Amino acid sequence: MRKILVGAAAVGALTVVASAQQINDPDAITLQHDFEGFQAPPPGPFTLGNATFSEQSSGSGGPGWRVLGGFFNGTDTLTDNAGISDITIDFDTAMAQAGLLVGIGPGDYTVDFLRDNNVVGTVNISVVDVTESAFAGWGDAGGIDAIRVTEPSGDNGRVGGIDDVRYDVIPAPGTMALLGLGGLVGMRRRR
């Protein structure tokens, strides 16, 4: 998949992506869910804000969720009981950009960003140490409605986790028009 950035307009902290691109800076996307002090929910999907988390993993740990402390620079991290082989985050509305930290490792992880069950972007992550994590982010003007994190090896002996889930809703067309007009008025006044 080619990554093409046709252009982007900064709107406050939100960068509006004109096409599709990988986002490497976590601070470019609003932090929505940090799992510090989070209590693991019972098995099955659960919802936080605009996101529903589900896991389709299988293995020695069985179904369900757990929160592991002391990883990702000493913070709490969400994982499934089996180790990470397939965690999905479904959004209730299209997001302009989304991302999260992935790690615990050691392991290789694939983070797919989806729209209508089609992959619009992929970030591959390799971590070699249990304290290591890496950010995977993507922006797409057409919208992102899900993130899927998988461990391609399917080795449930490895443990992986996610943290700092970030996302920004696609601004309504009227909002973008008003922001554009505001910028034009500001430029006019400076002259």
Q: Select from 1.20.1740, 2.60.40, 1.10.10, 2.60.120 the CATH code of 8-190.
A: 2.60.120
Q: Are 80 and 57 in contact (CB under 8 A)?
A: yes
Domain extent listing, the chain: 8-190
| pLDDT given at position 12 | 39
CA distances from 118 to 22, 49, 147 (A): 16, 23, 11
Q: Are 11 and 168 in contact (CB under 8 A)?
A: no
| pLDDT given at position 71 | 76
Check residue 28 and report its DSSP letter.
Answer: G
Q: Are 49 and 33 in contact (CB under 8 A)?
A: yes
- Give per-residue burial for 42-53: e unless 16+ CB within 10 Å, then b: eeeeeeeeebeb
CA distances from 155 to 33, 58, 146, 159 (A): 27, 10, 23, 9
Pairing, β 133-150 against β 161-169: unpaired
| pLDDT given at position 167 | 97
Q: Are 100 and 113 in contact (CB under 8 A)?
A: no
Q: Are 129 and 159 in contact (CB under 8 A)?
A: no
What CA–CA distance (Å, rounded) separates 82 from 182?
51
Phi, psi of 176 (to 5 degrees): -65, -40
Pairing, β 8-11 against β 107-115: unpaired
| pLDDT given at position 155 | 57
pTM exceeds 0.75:
yes
| pLDDT given at position 178 | 43
What token pair was written down for 46?
């659960």
What token pair was written down for 45?
């999907």
Residue 100: closest CA among 180, 26, 10: 26
| pLDDT given at position 27 | 95
| pLDDT given at position 53 | 96
User: Mean pLDDT of residues grouped by 10 in the chain (191 residues)?
Assistant: 33 51 95 93 93 81 81 82 81 97 84 97 89 92 95 64 94 56 48 49
